[in-house]
Amino acid sequence: MTSYYGEYEKVWVSVDCIIFGFDHGKLELLIGRRQLDPGRGEWSLYGGFVAPDESLEEAASRVLHDLTGMKKVYMRQVGAFSAVDRDPGERVISVAFCALINVQDYDDNLRREYGLEWVSVQSLPPLYSDHRMMVESAIDLLRRHIATEPLYFNLLPDLFTLTQLQHVYEAIMGEEIDKRNFRKRVKTMQFIEQTRLIDKQSSRRGALLYRFNKRNLGSSSSFKL
Selection from its own copies, DNA, none that 105 binds (CB < 5 to 8 A by kind) is none
Q: How far is the CB of 128 from its own copies (least distance, A)?
A: 14
How is residue 3 annotated by DSSP? Answer: -
**Hey, what's the torsion of the CAs at 122, 124, 129, 131, to 10 degrees?**
-50
- Could you tell me which stretch among 61-69, 136-144, 178-186, 212-220 binds DNA (CB under 7 A)? 178-186
- Nearer of residues 91 and 184 to DNA, judged by Cβ: 184
Neighbours of 101 (CB within 10 A): 20
Is residue 50 involved in binding its own copies (CB under 8 A)?
yes
Tell me the C-alpha distance between 210 and 186, whole Å.
Answer: 10
Is residue 12 involved in binding its own copies (CB under 8 A)?
yes
Selection from its own copies, DNA, none that 4 binds (CB < 5 to 8 A by kind) is its own copies
Q: Identify the residue among 82, 120, 137, 163 touching DNA (CB under 7 A).
A: 163
- Nearer of residues 91 and 179 to its own copies, judged by Cβ: 91
Is residue 177 involved in binding its own copies (CB under 8 A)?
no
Tell me the C-alpha distance between 34 and 39, whole Å.
Answer: 7
**Hey, what's the torsion of the CAs at 127, 114, 30, 160, to 10 degrees?**
-170
Is residue 147 involved in binding DNA (CB under 7 A)?
no
Integer angstrom CA distances of residue 52 from 4, 13, 59, 62, 63: 16, 10, 10, 14, 15
Q: Identify the residue among 161, 169, 172, 223 touching DNA (CB under 7 A).
A: 161
Closest CA relative to residue 119, chosen from 44, 60, 48? 44
Is residue 4 involved in binding its own copies (CB under 8 A)?
yes
